[in-house]
């Protein structure tokens, strides 16, 4: 399955960006988010717990979609795949990452924010890309501008997106999903307030469902 088909299979276009500092938090956090209607999680490799968190989540929820984010090297790609990641997300792209993706056969969302980076990804056969850091790189206006020369490209913007701005992103025709950390506030995670996290997911899913329905009308 390629990245485009993967994102299209999600019932919810919100992808929480998850940072795990304590391994014991991995499973209850996944349970809260998945129980709140989230279709997939992106576990970043910004902490040493990332790989083990992916493995723990996949063990507890084998039918869920758990991806690895902040994958910046061929070695990290291979290790994330070995941990059970269903898809790989990178803030950028290199020849080595494209090689790792080809060898592993996992859905891969390489990062691209400029025309040259989009063209490079297209040369490797990719048409679904991560747009990071979204707000700092121009946000909605930049994505709207990229839709002109690249109408066949779909993006998953991440970085600086908030509950107040997510609707403007999802209304763009070249945005297939949105990633963000607002679904996992650090203070709720630190205090293990799983029910509040689940409710936050429920509320967010309800909001974007309405946006998606309006987009189809």
State the catalytic residue, choosing from 42, 58, 65, 74.
Answer: 42
Question: 3-209 has which fold?
Answer: TIM Barrel (3.20.20)
Domain ranges of the chain: 3-209
pLDDT value, residue 207: 87
Q: Is residue 130 flagged as an active site residue?
A: yes
State the catalytic residue, choosing from 31, 117, 130, 191.
Answer: 130
Torsional sign, CA 127, 132, 137, 142: positive
pLDDT value, residue 201: 96
pLDDT value, residue 212: 62
Task: Name the helix (H) or strand (E) containing 43.
Answer: strand 40-44
Helices (H), 61-193: 74-82, 95-104, 115-123, 139-146, 166-170, 186-190
DSSP 130: E
pLDDT value, residue 116: 98
pLDDT value, residue 214: 61
Q: What are phi and psi of 161, to 5 degrees?
A: -80, 140
pTM score: 0.94
pLDDT value, residue 202: 95
In a structure prediction context, what are the per-residue pLDDT tens digits for the chain, which is 217 residues long? 788 888 888 889 999 999 999 999 999 999 999 999 999 999 999 999 999 999 999 999 999 999 999 999 999 999 999 999 999 999 999 999 999 999 999 999 999 999 999 999 999 999 999 999 999 999 999 999 999 999 999 999 999 999 999 999 999 999 999 999 999 999 999 999 999 999 999 999 998 877 666 655 5
Q: Is residue 42 flagged as an active site residue?
A: yes
pLDDT value, residue 82: 97
58-72: b (≥16 Cβ within 10 Å) or e = beeeeebbbbbbbbe
Place of tokens 């993006």: 155
């Amino acid at each position: 399955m390629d990245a485009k088909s993967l994102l299209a299979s999600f019932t919810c276009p919100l992808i929480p960006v998850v940072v795990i500092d304590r391994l014991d938090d991995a499973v209850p956090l996944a349970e809260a988010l998945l129980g709140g209607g989230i279709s997939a999680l992106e576990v970043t490799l910004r902490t040493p717990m990332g790989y083990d968190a992916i493995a723990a989540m996949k063990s507890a929820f084998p039918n869920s979609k758990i991806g690895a984010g902040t994958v910046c090297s061929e070695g990290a790609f291979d290790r994330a795949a070995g941990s059970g990641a269903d898809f790989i997300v990178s803030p950028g792209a290199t020849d080595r990452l494209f090689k790792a993706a080809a060898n592993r056969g996992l859905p891969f969302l390489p990062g691209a924010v400029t025309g040259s980076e989009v063209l490079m990804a297209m040369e490797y056969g990719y048409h679904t890309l991560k747009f990071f850091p979204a707000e700092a790189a121009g946000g909605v206006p930049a994505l709207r501008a990229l839709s002109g020369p690249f109408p066949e490209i779909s993006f998953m913007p991440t970085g600086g997106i908030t509950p107040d701005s997510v609707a403007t992103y999802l209304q763009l025709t070249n945005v297939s999903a949105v990633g963000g950390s607002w679904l996992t506030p650090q203070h709720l995670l630190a205090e293990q307030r799983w029910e509040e996290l689940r409710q936050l997911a429920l509320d967010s899913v309800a909001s974007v469902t309405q946006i998606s329905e309006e987009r189809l009308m």
